[in-house]
Amino acid sequence: MTVTLRSLDVAVPATELPQEAVRDVLAAQPDLSRLGQRLVATSFNSSGIERRYSALDEWDGPPAEGEPVFFDAETRRFLNPTTGVRNAIFAREATELYTRVAAGALEGAEGIEAADVTHVITVSCTGFFAPGPDYRIVRSLGLNPSVQRYHLGFMGCYAALPALRQAQTICRADPQAVVLVATVELCTLHVRTSNDPDTIVGSSLFADGAAGAIITGRDLPSSTPVLQLDHFETVLTPVGEEAMAWNIGDNGFEMVLGTYVPHIIDEHIVDALAPLLAHEPTLEGIPYREIEQWAIHPGGRSILDKVEAKLALEESQLVPARETLRDFGNMSSATVMFVLEKILRTAEPGTSERVCSMAFGPGLTVETALLTVHGAPASATGS
């Protein structure tokens, strides 16, 4: 049976962080060495990012009430709250974003009402609380209290694709199922000043964002583009376990992001794609550029450069990923959903194109998906 993503909503918090401004603030921290300052300049200037967004409004000025806990806008100094304090902010701010994108996805799914939702899958690696975001979505949207709920936690940047794969599995098992998937990542809660190269690279890349989607196998008409979920695969590269990790520290979660990650992806991306493309013999052995659309998780500009060069893709095929990186930064698991949203939004009416999606995370894990984007029916656009 055909399982389709029928709507996709994305959102970011209100506080915009111009990349140059964050660079200058971070480089001016008193505990940063001269080498640390140079690493900050190099990482930020080569990131391919112009702006990011944060759930922390302290970047814009002193809080209306109480003392700042993360960033003192008057002294321009980073503070160092405990993991508990950071997680409390996550519970408050993530709840708003989860419910916002879930409501947006439900509103955009033609022929689907709140009462139709049978399953909720939530995703995050930047905070925890219980009752969790799955519970908050059910309560806030007035879903049936018997809705089945699942949370994919602490998987990292690739987790949105396993969430979509699980939604596909559910819908194939139950043709009447309607699955709501929501991912929220508040990476900026864990930014801190440090001379450690991995921490500096993470500070230059990571941002906050959210995405929500409705997936179902029901045969419903649609006047907007939809995304058919065809095949998914998971591959662990032979090396790289130590190159990317996400640990819980006393003062926030700690990123390990080795500079060798792009090289690992470069060396193993072809082998990682092979099991996915084997699902359709017509795709095996063809030039990769003949697959029209590529939804690559923009973990950083160097990763996109390696993917484009290794697979000999056209520059235009990486535009959705590069624009997402430029305008929003790396929002961990939510990022690839932003890329897919761009592909959906720009789909030509009456057309169908294949989409190959890839996301990378700790392990080193490569998640892949083969999809088909169907533009809105030509009759729905009046053409």
H or E segment to which residue 249 belongs? strand 244-249
- Whether the CB-CB separation of 35 and 121 falls below 8 Å is answered with no
Which amino acid type is present at position 4? T
Can 187 be counted among the known catalytic residues? no
Rounded to whole angstroms, the maximal C-alpha distance in the chain is 62
Catalytic residue among 157, 171, 187, 356: 157
Measured CA to CA, the distance from residue 120 to residue 131 in angstroms comes to 14
H or E segment to which residue 355 belongs? strand 352-361
Q: What are phi and psi of 229, to 5 degrees?
A: -90, 110
Token look-up 């690839």 returns: 336
The strand order across the sheet containing 148-153 reads: 148-153, 119-124, 178-186, 208-216, 3-11, 226-236, 365-374, 352-361, 293-296
Q: Which two tokens stand for residue 152?
A: 């994919």
Q: Which two tokens stand for residue 375?
A: 């533009």
- List the one residue out of 169, 160, 216, 124 whose CA is nearest residue 367: 160
Measured CA to CA, the distance from residue 179 to residue 199 in angstroms comes to 36
Three-class DSSP category at 304: helix
Measured CA to CA, the distance from residue 365 to residue 297 in angstroms comes to 12
Which amino acid type is present at position 122? T
Measured CA to CA, the distance from residue 314 to residue 175 in angstroms comes to 38
Which residues are within 8 A (CB) of 299 and not within 5 positions of it... i.e. 6 or more apart? 157, 205, 261, 330, 335, 360
Measured CA to CA, the distance from residue 251 to residue 243 in angstroms comes to 21
User: Which residues are identified as catalytic?
Assistant: 157
